[in-house]
Chains A and B, each alone.
Chain A
Amino acid sequence: MWDYTDKVKEHFRNPRNVGSIEDPDGVGVVGSLACGDALKLMFKLDDQGRVADVKFQTFGCGSAIASSSALTEMIKGMTLEEAEKVTNQDIAAYLGGLPEQKMHCSVMGREALEAAIAHYRTGTQSNRELEGSVVCTCFGVTENEIERVIRENALTTVEQVTHYTKAGGGCGGCVADIQRILDQMGGTRPVAEPAPVVKPRRMTNVERIRLIEETLEREVRPKLRRDGGDVELIDVVGESVIVSLRGNCANCMVSQFTLRDVVQSKLREFVSPELVVIEEDAR
């Protein structure tokens, strides 16, 4: 059972302004029997250009009838310039709100009003299909209409677009198209928040020395030991790592090469790119 407000129920039970007008100034028709709801709205203006009389006929559910009734009450006495500012949200608000799945009833009201005003101004029944390509063929909803409803109601999901326009509620074939429209309208799809980046905490000196020693043990010593050499960590001062080469390395002709290209490069790779390796005796 729908959770209709008392005002919706009251307008459904006692709809205002049902019927038709002889020789109306404007007539707007939206919807069809196939769609499940339809609204025919007509008005007559007084000599000051205000809505003097307005009548409707609606085929549809309780909220469709209530929305139509509310719309006629709202625009009575308005100029067309005032009336065309009425949004579907205004209609829903007048009724104290509509269930979201029924918001398309309020959109139908706004569309019929626009069609009637256009009829008055141009003398022709507007053909909504010409205003943009049809996205939903089941309910005949155009891209322009979908974009407008998304914009005016700040919609973010396909499901909401379906509740407001019916688009996507039939065969479902246009759901991807509706999502594309939402995407194109920018930032309307909830963007996944990236996981917070944890700023690396500065290592303590003790941790740094431990890491240097681990790197030497894992990455450097096995290489040196294969050649009968070794390396000992003497001290760490700022970015300077003081080591002592032992065994064969100590006398090796290429010890400076060993220091720079093996020890220093591994420590820079695994600990910090600023490190400089210095041999103890060279201080």
Chain B
Amino acid sequence: MRTVYLDNNATTMVAPEVIEAMHPFWGDLYGNASSMHSFGGQIATHIARAREQVAALLGADPAEIVFTSGGSESDNLAIKGTLEVLAGVKRHIITTRVEHPAVLGLVRHLSERGFLVTELPVESDGSLDLDLLERSITPETAIVSIMWANNETGVVFPIHRIAEIVKARGVVFHTDAVQAAGKVPINLAGVPVDLLSISGHKLHAPKGVGVLYVRKGTKLMPQVIGGHHEGNRRAGTENVPGIVGLGRAAELALRELPNEYRIAQLRDRLEAGIRESCPDVRVNGAERLPNTLNVSFEFVEGEAILLMLDDLGIAASSGSACASGSLQPSHVLRAMGVPFTFAHGSIRFSLSRYTVEDEIDFVLRHMPGIIKRLREISPFAKDGAFERTLGAGRD
């Protein structure tokens, strides 16, 4: 059975060019970059090359690139590393209600340990109120952490404008750009971001490698301590194959950026096709990444849709409660005020540069039947004989 992989915001296929670039470093080139001999020392030149490749994708200086184990570590390093520098001076954190758990889970953890946290709400289209952000900054504010693009809806925040607001108040600004990197242009020479997180496996590099961009002059307390690696900002012998792979992936992403419009076209084709063939749907989020479609089907439940898609080899994800294992639908959709009647039936399709038109058409052929079938089983479908809230429902 063919696999139609439309879950690229969860993880991506490692690009063949990336596998090829990594290959020698699993075998002959196993040296330690810190060694005094040339067998190890040569590895340092490959790491330096990867640092340049990532810096080029971000419009940064190679010295500003810190390799980590992934997006979550980068987020932790940025936030905890900044708070530690400002310990005893400032203890207020500003973030948003729609952040990835790597940030939201961390700041909620910190809020139980004496830090003050402001979680900014979002509008129904997923956007932020920038005036509210500005009003929320106080002399106590140590760091503002706001994602570049949302992993569930693809909603893109105006990071340039946000960074200017935050920096005008002299506060450290971190952005989780895990979803944005490689999908929208990023030029940190022109955007006053202090700290920025990237994850390798979201842009066709392998899992287990990431980056924290640290603008020159930004004070940061390392969180993995014990060695001089990464300019004393992150100890530990380098994940050489991962770093080389991420460098190559960044190079490819930069090269492919002009073709993102093609992904957007496919996404729009999927979106229009679903709107046309399935009644009672809504698309969640306005200003979005070119690859993401988060669509809600009323009266049906997301996990059931995923299971039926899975039977066809179609991989997607859902913000429904059941699919997550929690009992509440996605925190992002709830923050946007998506009605419960829609939130439980949300499906996220996320495309990549490897997605082809034929795959989109395959999904469009089957989607109406799946929704129709589940609505026939559902007691809430339009011709259902009783009210939506009959029974135990109270909300």
Contacts and interface: CB of A to CB of B under 8 A. Distances in A.
Nearest to A108: B392
A33 B386 contact: no
A62 interface: yes
B277 interface: no
Given A32-B389, A62-B303, A128-B392, A18 B376 contact: yes
B391 A29 contact: yes
A35 B322 contact: no
A77 interface: no
A40 B341 CA distance: 17
Contacts of A39: 379
B311 A64 contact: no
Output the residue of A2, A32, A65, A139 with the most chain B CB within 10 A. A32
Nearest to A13: B311
A61 interface: yes
Contacts of B344: 33, 36
B176 interface: no
A61 B301 contact: yes
A18 B395 CA distance: 27
B150 to A, nearest CB: 22
Contact of B326 (A29, A58, A137, A169): A169
B290 to A, nearest CB: 28
A139 B320 CA distance: 15
A59 B391 contact: no
A34 B328 contact: no
A149 B239 CA distance: 50
Nearest to B329: A36
A166 B327 contact: yes
A101 B324 CA distance: 11
Dominant secondary structure at the A interface: mixed
Given A36-B321, A58-B378, A20 B385 contact: yes
A61 B304 contact: yes
B388 A61 contact: no
Contacts of A30: 391-392
B307 interface: yes
A213 interface: no
Nearest to A145: B392
Given A57-B384, A61-B322, A170-B327, A33 B389 contact: yes
Given A13-B311, A18-B376, A20-B385, A34 B301 contact: no
Contacts of A65: 304, 377
A33 B340 contact: yes
Contacts of A38: 379-380, 391, 393
B301 to A, nearest CB: 5
B322 A37 contact: yes
Contacts of B301: 36-37, 59-61, 64
A40 B395 contact: no
Contacts of A162: 327
A101 B393 CA distance: 20
Contacts of B386: 29, 40
Contacts of A18: 376-377
Nearest to B384: A57
A12 B307 contact: yes
Contacts of A32: 388-395
B373 to A, nearest CB: 10
Contacts of B329: 36
Given A13-B311, A29-B390, A128-B392, A36 B379 contact: no
A128 B323 CA distance: 27
A31 interface: yes
Interface in A1-46: 2, 9, 12-13, 15, 18, 20, 29-40
A97 interface: no
Interface string B336-355: 00001100100000000000
B299 interface: yes
Output the residue of A34, A37, A59, A137 with the most chain B CB within 10 A. A59
CB-based closest 10 A-B pairs = A32-B393, A169-B327, A61-B322, A57-B379, A34-B395, A61-B303, A29-B391, A40-B379, A34-B340, A59-B378
Given A62-B303, A62-B307, 5 more contacts: A18-B376, A36-B321, A40-B379, A58-B378, A61-B323
5 contacts: A31-B392, A32-B392, A35-B392, A36-B340, A37-B301
Interface of A: 2, 9, 12-13, 15, 18, 20, 29-40, 57-62, 64-65, 101-102, 125, 128-129, 137-140, 162, 166, 169-170
